[in-house]
Amino acid sequence: MAILTSLYGGLNVLYSNLFVTLPIPEEAPDLSEQTIIVTGSNTGLGYETSQHLLRLGVGKLIMGVRNLDKGEKARIELLKATKRSLDTIEVWQVDSESYDSVKKFADRANNLPRLDAVLANAGILTNHFSLSQGNEKTVTVNVISVFLLGLLLLPKLRSAPSAGRFVVPNSALHYIAHTKEIVPTKNKTIFDRLNDPEQSDMANRYSLSKLLVLYVVRELAERTKLSVKGDVIFNTPNPSYCKSGLLNEPGNTAPLDFMARTTEMGSRAILNGVLAGPESNGHYLNNCHVSCPAAHVTNKTGSQIQKAFVDELLEKLEVISPGISASL
């Protein structure tokens, strides 16, 4: 089954990137009153998605960036390209390696007049083990900080005039992610194993982080469906392999260029997630459609991992921000 799942994932990337041209969104629900946050928005997929949102008429774009100077430069470029007014875009600082930074960013966002969608686009790929905030850095940036932000903003998203959206980019690499580090055991928590420098499989870590994102999106969608606190949409679209800065770290190897989408093409898939409706809630999106994820997401083992990991994640988030689980 694992071999078939991996083969399916690989063939899907080849088919998507070589034979599928994603539609350029020309129309969207009225965005003129909406406020949308895009993190990691000064470059790559986040920048291109921001440009589409501005072109489609979003009322306010909040660019969440680590470096304010680079963010301001990107803001000027976006304003020039889209001919929007100066007050359409704001640049806010947020560093996904710092939980305090994420909390300050969320506090600021919770004071906005309204918030309609969040694209949690910031992410890293590294083959080198290091700790950040007491957890392996990939897990900190790609998973913990993402959902720390999501749960801190959940009440605000619920107050949007229509269902708020929380969107996290994914990857077909989740099909080939090995689950040996995250199958629940009695001896060690999942996080303890992920944070063990002697046992961590860093070659698998980025793929695994995308698998973990998928588990959390699915679980949060289920748990919030049962809540009486209001609607919210969680989804995780796959832009597929794109020419971006994700693989810039020395030692990372990239597929051949002919197999890559441009970041603009990949951003169309992400934009689809940002604009998607309730039919996308809890789902993996591929080529702008709800798609079936890997077998190790949907089978019995996947269900066990999903619940166990999200329970551990919520415990960790409670330590970082006491009371955060109550937002569910």
> Which domains are present in the chain?
31-170+212-291 (3.40.50.720)
- Whole-angstrom Cα distance, residue 132 to residue 12? 33
**With 70 as the cut, is the pLDDT of residue 9 above it?**
no
For the segment 96-112, the average pLDDT, to the nearest whole number, is: 98
Q: For a pLDDT cut of 90, what percent of the chain falls above it?
A: 81
Confidence of residue 311 (pLDDT cuts 50, 70, 90): very high
Strands (E) across 108-184 are located at 117-119, 131-132, 135-136, 164-167
- pLDDT at position 241 is 87
Query: What pLDDT does residue 3 have?
Result: 63
- What's the rounded mean pLDDT across residues 318-325? 98
CA distances to 52, 91, 167, 213, 223 from 217, rounded to whole Å, are: 24, 27, 9, 6, 10
Q: Are 211 and 177 in contact (CB under 8 A)?
A: yes
On average, the pLDDT of the chain sits at: 92
With cut-offs at 50, 70 and 90, classify the pLDDT of residue 5: low
Q: How many residues does the chain have?
A: 328
pLDDT tens figures, 23-79: 888 777 899 999 999 999 999 999 999 999 999 999 999 999 999 999 999 999 999
Q: For residue 230, what pLDDT is reported? A: 79
Does residue 120 register a pLDDT over 80?
yes
Q: What is the pLDDT of residue 287?
A: 96
pLDDT at 180 over 80: yes
Cα–Cα distances in angstroms (integers) from residue 158 to residues 62, 134, 152, 154, 235, in the given order: 18, 31, 11, 6, 15
Mean pLDDT of 272-289: 96
Say which residues have a Cβ less than 8 Å from residue 106's Cβ, sequence separation at least 6. Answer: 148, 149, 152, 153
Q: How confident is the model at residue 259 (pLDDT cuts 50, 70, 90)?
A: confident
Q: What is the mean pLDDT of residues 142-149?
A: 98
Above 80 in pLDDT, residue 310?
yes
Share of the chain above pLDDT 70, in %: 91
Residues designated catalytic: 206, 210
Q: Is the pTM of this model over 0.75?
A: yes
**Given this model, what pLDDT does residue 1 score?**
45
Question: What does the pLDDT average to over 146-156?
Answer: 98
Tell me: the pLDDT tens digits for 207-226? 999 999 999 999 999 999 87
The predicted structure's pLDDT at residue 260: 83
- pLDDT at residue 256 in the model: 57
